A and B are shown apart, each in its own frame.
Chain A
Amino acid sequence: MESLRGKVAIIGVADTEVGIVPHMSATQLTIDAALKALDDAGLTKNDIDGLITCNSFAEPILYHAEAMAEYLQIKPKLCYSVLTGGGTTFSLVEHAAAAIVAGLCHTVLIVTADSLRSGLTKEKAMTSQASTGHPQFESIYGPTVPALYALIARAHMEKYGTTSEQFAKIAVACRKHASLNPAAQMRELISVEDVINSRMIADPLHLLDCSLISDGGAAVIVTSAERAKAFKQDPIYLLGVGEGHHHEHISQALDFTTSGATDSSKLAYEMAGLGPKDMDFAQIYDCFTPTVLVELEDLGFCEKGEGGAFVDSGAIELGGALPINTHGGLLSHCHPGHPGSMFALTEAVKQLRDQAGERQVKNAQTALVHGQGGIMSSHTTLIIGREVS
């Protein structure tokens, strides 16, 4: 099997305005992100011969990618939408890389956006959340999305003695990083006590253990490594990628405290020829604080069961051994649903280009970006870096 290692690079990234953006529709946010990424790369829309998108909740379109290509008036050779939950955006990078290496197209625009905050009626928002579980064997019991993740949090606390304070420290670190990011939706510093004292949503998860609901979009442009040097930004190479899929419904999970991130990261590390210790920072999917703690373990940054102690050590804050979610993450930067993890990738690219301003990780060369979707269901790990060798 041919490896994708070093074969493609990200040459353009962009975010739209995020947070509460009622003056733009989900489609407009998609197009805005696309145009900004083209500008970042120094390309025009006619340079794009592959388009991959993710459908919107607020403004769903049957054939979303086709509609976006029509809106842009481009005629790509590869054009489709993907939906695997929060891991979607990184799977798209893998698919784009595979298409480029296979010679199907040269330059792929990946763009995702949604307006979950401003574009959904309350009724539609409730219905979509209530539909998360299995329609016959889960949803009837009144699970909410936080409740489904609370099941994982509780299992980890039970098995490894993890505490609410340790979960809270993840929210505190993300907020601290968001405070350094002018684009972030929530920038006011919070303490562990603030998290613990915030309203209980689904025990043991408090309001501040939960990510935001936002509007926003982001885009990345991927091309072959040979072509990548010709553009205006430093290319950031794809060094490793892998996916892991263990279940869809959490009541069918094979294990409540170990996820498919073990599989996805193993594949990504093997492809990259690198390990957890080689990562200068990581962007780890943070829909809820326990998600991060379990993933820190499954991605190999600490032993299984030691995620709490790892967080206690301060490693995950800027200046620590492994700063995570340097833009503020879904917990504090923004979370417009499926597009949410894309901001982790655009941020990682900006960090590796040394363009992250006050929150810059010094001399960052290599990063791990991890997304997951469903209820710890679909996992994709990317490893990207400034250099191929």
Chain B
Amino acid sequence: MEALKILPTPTIETQIFWDACQQEKLLVQQCKECEHVQFYPRLMCTNCSSREVGWIESSGFAKVVTYTIVHRPILPAYQKEAPYILAVVQLEEGPTMMTNIVNCNHDSIKCGLQVKVLFQDWEKGFLVPVFEPI
């Protein structure tokens, strides 16, 4: 059996986010009361605790906060892409998220690098957000 990469299992709290990814849209939550923007999806605003949290589409622009080049993956499905870049990026709207940086020469990855979202077929046609240098 061919090894598969890990796929997310959307929950009642994250279904809207993952559905939007399938339309190649990156959504983040914004509080309707204090306008705080947050990721990952939650029932409440982490700033003011309001339950009035809506969704906005991110510009998809971000910068690399920190990164590593993974030489030794733990699961066989990730072996064929190793070494690959794992990073935490900060979206233009403020929140941070983990991702892979793709289409990037390993010599040119650095903290502060400007990147933009794209959506990759992870497994079985399911699209996952990753980032590439601008």
Q: Which residues of A contact B (CB under 8 A)?
A: 126, 129-130, 133-144, 146-147, 150-155, 158, 199-205, 249-253, 256
Contact = CB atoms under 8 A, between A and B. Distances in A.
B61 interface: no
B93 to A, nearest CB: 15
A203 B8 contact: no
Contact of B68 (A154, A199, A249): A154
23 contacts: A130-B74, A130-B75, A136-B8, A136-B18, A137-B8, A137-B98, A140-B7, A140-B128, A141-B86, A142-B5, A142-B74, A142-B84, A143-B70, A144-B70, A147-B70, A155-B66, A199-B71, A202-B86, A203-B68, A203-B69, A203-B83, A251-B96, A253-B96
Interface residue range, chain B: 35 or more
B71 A202 contact: yes
A126 B100 contact: no
A251 B89 CA distance: 8
B70 A134 contact: no
B111 A202 contact: no
Given A144-B74, A250-B88, A158 B66 contact: yes
Interface in B96-131: 96-100, 110-111, 122, 128, 130
B99 A126 contact: no
A158 B98 contact: no
B134 interface: no
Residue among A137, A139, A140 facing the most chain B CB atoms (10 A cut-off): A140
B74 A129 contact: yes
B12 interface: no
The 3 A-B pairs with the shortest beta carbon distances in the complex, nearest first, are: A150-B68, A251-B98, A142-B78
A203 B128 CA distance: 24
Given A140-B5, A151-B88, A251-B88, A201 B71 contact: yes
B72 interface: yes
B44 interface: no
Nearest to B72: A201
Contacts of A250: 88, 98
Interface of B: 5-11, 14, 18, 39-40, 65-75, 78, 81, 83-84, 86-88, 96-100, 110-111, 122, 128, 130
Given A126-B75, A130-B75, A134-B40, A140 B122 contact: yes
A159 to B, nearest CB: 8
A130 B67 contact: no
B71 A200 contact: yes
Contacts of B10: 136
B73 A142 contact: yes
A350 B71 CA distance: 39
Contacts of B96: 251-253
Given A130-B74, A142-B75, A203-B71, A137 B86 contact: no
Given A137-B40, A150-B68, A142 B86 contact: yes
Contacts of B86: 141-143, 147, 151, 202
Nearest to B38: A252
Nearest to A129: B74
Given A130-B6, A140-B6, A201-B72, 18 more contacts: A133-B98, A135-B6, A136-B14, A140-B122, A142-B100, A144-B70, A144-B73, A144-B74, A146-B72, A147-B86, A154-B68, A155-B65, A155-B66, A158-B111, A200-B72, A253-B88, A253-B96, A256-B88
Contacts of A158: 66, 110-111
A251 B70 CA distance: 16
Contact of A141 (B18, B71, B100): B100
Contacts of B74: 126, 129-130, 142, 144
